[in-house]
Amino acid sequence: MLFSATDSLADIWQTLLHELHRGALDLKHPFRYLTLATAGTNFPQVRTVVLRQISADLEFLVYTDVRSTKVQELLEVPRVSLHFYHPKKQVQVRVKALATIHLEDELAQVHWNRVSEKRRSEYQSKLDPGTRIAAPAAGWESTIESSHFSVLKFSPLSLEILQLAREGHLRIQFDLASGWQGSWLVP
């Protein structure tokens, strides 16, 4: 369990922040891989993305190719939902956030410098993500010198935590509008 009914909201908030930061730092932490949901064109779209960093202001950073469908969706509707799940601790975290796309700016450059030479080709394909190809190797055959690397920054508006427990589930919501003050919710 991440928290119990006897923990204070302030303590739960600090524990939550600790676990989220661990997700960005620990390659084996379950919060490393999160689900991103966007509005999509005709249907909502969900996909798994990798949490690269959490800023001091609790902004979640993710890397992507700027030509990806998710970027186009975010340009149209920047409101997203993020979903984290920790199977051992049986806790779910849902985040409502606003997305900002960083391309060829200072933030993108700082993070591009962190991408290993081996992984840079993922952002240097001549073909757009999702392009139909004859065989898997065709997607990596031709690369360009420049990159299509971008950083997605998700600025949360609210976080809702559901702690699953045999003795009774617990649910809390923290809102930015209230200065990240928490409120217990009916599970």
pLDDT tens, position by position, 9-52: 999 999 999 999 999 999 999 999 999 999 988 999 999 999 99
Torsion of CA 180, 165, 8, 21, to 10 degrees: -50
The pLDDT of residue 145: 67
Q: Give the total number of structural domains in the chain.
A: 1
Q: Has residue 134 been placed in a domain?
A: no
Q: Which pairs count as long-range contacts for 50-57, CB under 8 Å and 24+ apart, including other chains?
A: 51/23, 51/24, 52/24, 52/111, 52/151, 53/24, 53/111, 54/20, 54/21, 54/23, 54/24, 55/153, 57/155
Give the range of the structural domain holding residue 76, as residue numbers without chain letter: 9-129+142-185
Q: What is the token pair recorded at 72?
A: 């186009």
Give the percent of the chain with pLDDT over 90: 81
Instruction: Evaluate whether residue 136 is within a structural domain.
Output: no
Instruction: Examine residue 119 and state whether it is found in any structural domain, yes or no.
Output: yes
Residue with structure tokens 């190719």? 65
Residue 158 in any domain: the answer is yes
Domain presence at residue 4: no
- CATH, residue 162: 2.30.110.10
User: Any idea what the Cα angle at residue 91 is, between residues 160 and 174, rounded to 5°?
Assistant: 20
135 belongs to a structural domain:
no
Query: Does the residue 166 lie in any domain?
Result: yes
Q: Say if 1 falls within a structural domain.
A: no
pLDDT at 69 over 90: yes
